Amino acid sequence: MAWVILFFAGLFEVAWAVGLKFTEGFTRGWATLGTLIAVAVSMMLLGIALRDLPVGTAYAIWVGIGVVGTAAAGVVFFNEPISWFRVFSILLIVIGIVGLKISSAPSTTP
């Protein structure tokens, strides 16, 4: 369950990172409020996930979800440029996230 909570924490990280764009330097009230709520929820969920997960692994995965999600949102919602090198770089981050998840799985050997 901690991994699911961590995943949602990462999604809220994407929400607040994208929300920063809409705050226009924290001058738009509703966008700022939504962004601050997303930050709080993201941190709260990360804290809950850390009860059961190693801090280094959980934090790296949380940031990775945020990086990949925010980069994808930038392309989709803000028409940021996409290139093969950018896709390759994001893929490397995804591979790192998967590797961290696999490496933190409990060992089945006695």
List, for residues 48-94, the tens digit of each pLDDT value. 999 999 998 899 999 999 999 999 999 999 999 999 999 999 999 99
Radius of gyration over every alpha carbon of the chain, rounded to an integer in angstroms: 16
For the chain, the average pLDDT equals 92
- Residue 19 belongs to a domain: yes
Better-predicted residue by pLDDT, 74 or 107? 74
Q: Are 62 and 53 in contact (CB under 8 A)?
A: no
At residue 109, does pLDDT exceed 80?
A: no
- Residue 11 belongs to a domain: yes
**Domain total of the chain:** 1
CA 101 to chain centre: 14
Query: pLDDT confidence of 37, banded at 50, 70, 90?
Result: very high
- Residue 110 belongs to a domain: no
- Residue 108 belongs to a domain: no
Which residues form the domain of 87? 2-103
- Residue 7 belongs to a domain: yes
